[in-house]
Structure formats: structure tokens, C-alpha cells
Amino acid sequence: MNNLRSSLSKLFQYPSAVAGIFVVLALIVVAAYAMITIPYSEAIRLWRGGEEVWYQNPRFAAPAWINYFSNQKYSESFAVNTTDGQVTKTVTPGSEGVSTIDMSYEFDYSYDVYPQELILYLKAAYNEKQPFVSVELLTPDNRTIRIGNFSVGNEFTYRFSQDEKLRTKLRTEEVIPALFSLPDSNQPLKGKYTLIIQGTTFEPDSDLSVEFVSHGQVFGWAGTDHARRDLVLPLLWGVPVALAFGLIASMGTSILTMIIAAVGAWYTGWVDELIQRITEVNLVLPFYALLIMIGTFYSRSIWVILGATIILSIFTGSIKAYRAIFIQVKESMYIEAAKAYGASSPRIIFLYLIPRMIPLLIPSLVQSVPAFVFLEASLAVIGLGDPVLPTWGKIIQDANSNGALYKGYYYWVLEPAMLLMITGLAFAFLGFALDRVFNPKLRDV
């Protein structure tokens, strides 16, 4: 116990180790948060969801915080509707079942870059006569732009930029910039805009509801990808996936390697010989090619890849290194003593040999985590990621295959890459410090 405490205090002398511990703990907290707030099934539903889940989001939108660092302000996205009361709605009943429904939404527009698109999703309840709607936009300089009139079926979607009539009326090719600037100018007009929707229903229990969506140039904390998905989801869920893959793979590999090396060194003879031969065969096998083959031919499930990774990583050079040390340890007095009191072979292996090696095991375990975290990302980047799970590697692959760097969507690559880098380096720095603490031979040099 004292030993452990002194090791820990030595460890805390390394600033990089302290930073590493801090980052690893933070990652664990984020992983727990992600798994609690977005349950697994929900995460997968959202990640695999298409237009019906993500219609409110713009495509290829950078994160909203870039506005703080940019001279040009990019318009933010929003989605409001009548159900949650953000769009005010007043119903005025008239005679013969005809009633007017006034809906309006006032919003602040103070951006330099116009939104990608404005969309109205209208829903109507009626028996025979479709409700009628007219839409206007009130600008800060008190102009009223008539957007259009239309009768609404059960569901009706109106996209501002697609409207031929509006284009002709505004005498422009691009509807959205024309709406948000003074006539005959290219400068955006900042201020309060009000969208006014006047509906008329012709039946007593007929009703209208509206959702107003602006696909801006920036979105949320992390931006969106080509499928309108909010990148917060895969970035958050990437944490538990990366941690699980890295930790399970490194623990499985290190512990199994150690046990097998101990068994070989203890029993010697054909057991040892067999382990040696398997190790040599494994060194001949092309590691990455085998993993890619397994990913391509058998299954891209992350658990299959994880299992294959562990199996292929057990019989490597480290088994020989451990074996050499075990053969030395085997001759120690305390092993003799254990043999003398009649301890069984498994007892000696698990209670006497292996515990002796834990100081060696811990640093190598922590140090091998980044390799596995990056392995999962590497496979995902060349298109062999788990088809279901949202991971960091998948984001980079999506970005790469959509030419993100070429088209300038840097956030799309940088966000997952930074997270991968932070995770990998945290474990690497911690493991490096642990190595120097637990292997005193290294500490002096």
C-alpha cells in the first residue's frame, strides 16, 4: 500500500501525467453522460435517421461558435412551431364556421451571410374544404413582402427559394438574399423581421399548425454533415465507443498475453514450444490486411473486429519479452517456498508469478490504448467502420468521402480529429509517465 502511495506521488510529479489523468477522467464522465442522456437505441435511431429525423437542420453547416471568431456573421439556424408556442397563434371565429387564424413569428436577423433556405411546414385538419393561407414577411424598414397564397392539404411544405412566382416578383434569381436585403442592393439588412401567416379555415373544427424552419449557415455546437445530422451526436457517442474499444482491446491483449506467457514459462516443454511457434506464425501474418479482410468478408461489427484485434495482438513480440522475465522470476526463492508448501501450478501462476509483473503490465496497458483507439478510427476511415455505431472515425470518413477538406468544411474533420488526438495523447502521456515511475531503470536516463 505504501508502495502504491509512493508510486502515485511520484506519478504526480509529471505534469503530463496529471494532465493525462484529468483528460481520461473527463472522457469517462462525458462517456457516461452520453450514454445516459442519449440511450444506445436512440443514438442509433438518430444516427441512421434520414430526412424525417433531421429535416430541421441545414447541410454542411459549421458550428455556431465560429461567429465569435469570424468578421462575417453566419446566419444561425432555427426551427419554431405553433405547438410549442414560439409562433404566436390567435384564432378569431367568424360566421358560418369560417374563422381566421393569425400566426406570426418575430426574429432577429443580424448576419452577413444569408441562410441556405427558409421552409414552412404546414399541417391542416379539415373534412372537405382545405384551409387557405397567405404568407407575408415584414422587414425592419416596414416593407411588407407578399410571399404567397396557397390552400393547404393535410401536409404542405413550402420552400422559399424554390418558388418561381416569388422569384419573378422579387425580380431575382436568389430568393433568400433578396428577402433579407434592401431592394437593389447586395447588403444584408439587419433588424427585426416578422413572418406573418394568415390562415382561413372554412369548417368549425378545422385547424392549422405551422413549423417555420431556417436552414442557416451555422448550427449548434458542432455543426452538421451531408445528411443534416447534428455532429454533437457522433462526437458524444464516439467517446464511449473509443474508450470501450481502446480499453477492452488493451486490457484483453495485455492480460491474456501475460497469462499465456506465464503458463508457457511455468510448464515449459511442449506448451512453451507451442506458444513460441504460434507467436512466430502470427508474426508472419499481415495484421492490417487480415483485419481488413475480416471487416470486408465477415462482419464490420465493432465487436467482431475487437475480438480479431485481441486475438491477433496476443501472440506478438511482447509475449517473448514477458516470457524471458517469467523464466527469471521462476527461479526466485519465494516460488521455491510456494512449491515447498505444495501450492498447485495454477495457484503459483496466478497468485505468485503474475502479480509480480503488475508494475510492468500497467504502463504497457495504458500505453497500448491509443494504438487501439486509432486502429478503430483507421478502419473506419478506410470505410470499414461499424455500420451502425456513430464513431469519430466514421465522421472523418464521411467528411473525406464528401471532400470536406477540398470544399473547406474544416470543422467536419477537425472536431473528431481533435477528440481522437486528445484521447490518444492523454493515454500516451499517462502511460509514458507510468512507465518511468514503475520502471526505475528508465527514470535515471
Partner 1 sequence: MSVTAQVPVEKLTVKKSIANSSVLRVLRFSLKRLLTLFVTVVIGIYLTILIANMGGFVDEIIKGQIRDTVTQRVANNPNALQMEPELRKKLIEDQIALEEKRRGLNTPIAVRNFRYLSNALQLDLGRAINLTSDSGSKQVRLILLERLPATLLLMGTSQLFLFFSSIFIALSLSRKYGSFWDKLVIALSPTSAVPPWFYGIFLILIFSAALKILPFGGMVDSPPPPNTFDYSMSVLKHLTLPCLALILSSFFLSVYNYRTFFLIYSSEDYVDMAKAKGLPARDIERTYILRPTLPTIITNFSLLIITLWTGALFTETVFLWPGLGRTLFQAIGQYDTPIIVGSSIIFAYMLAMTVFLLDFVYALVDPRVKIGG
Q: How far apart are CA 380 and CA 398, in angstroms?
A: 10
> DSSP states of 27-42 as a string?
HHHHHHHHHHHS-HHH
Half-sphere exposure of 409 (CA within 13 A, CB side): 26
Q: What cell was used for 337?
A: 517456498
CB of 326 to partner 1, least distance (A): 22
> Binders of partner 1 among 400-439, rule CB under 8 A?
400, 405-406, 408, 410, 413-414, 417, 420-421, 424-425, 427-429, 431-432
Q: What cell was used for 10?
A: 511520484
Residue pointed to by grid coordinates 444561425: 76
Radius of gyration of the chain from its Cα atoms, rounded to whole angstroms:
31
> Binders of partner 1 among 265-304, rule CB under 8 A?
277, 280-286, 288-290, 292-294, 296-298
CB of 52 to partner 1, least distance (A): 32
Q: How many residues bind partner 1 (CB under 8 A)?
A: 47
Q: Is 4 exposed, middle or buried (0-12, 13-18, 19+ CB in 10 A)?
A: exposed
Q: What cell was used for 225?
A: 454533415
CB of 433 to partner 1, least distance (A): 9
Query: Whose Cβ is closer to partner 1: residue 102's or residue 280's?
Result: 280
CB of 367 to partner 1, least distance (A): 8
CB of 317 to partner 1, least distance (A): 11
Residues 6+ apart with CB under 8 A from 256: 310, 314
Binder of partner 1 out of 367, 386, 398, 419 (CB under 8 A): 367
> Binders of partner 1 among 10-39, rule CB under 8 A?
16
Query: Whose Cβ is closer to partner 1: residue 120's or residue 434's?
Result: 434
> Binders of partner 1 among 378-397, rule CB under 8 A?
378, 381-382, 396
CB of 432 to partner 1, least distance (A): 5
Distances (CA, A) of 244 to 174, 240, 391: 48, 6, 12
CA 82 to mean position of chain CA atoms: 31
Query: Whose Cβ is closer to partner 1: residue 37's or residue 72's?
Result: 72
Q: What cell was used for 368?
A: 497500448
Q: How many CB atoms lie within 10 A of CB 437?
A: 23
CB of 265 to partner 1, least distance (A): 20
- The residue ranges that bind partner 1 (CB under 8 A) are 16, 277, 280-286, 288-290, 292-294, 296-298, 367, 370-371, 374, 377-378, 381-382, 396, 400, 405-406, 408, 410, 413-414, 417, 420-421, 424-425, 427-429, 431-432, 441-442, 445
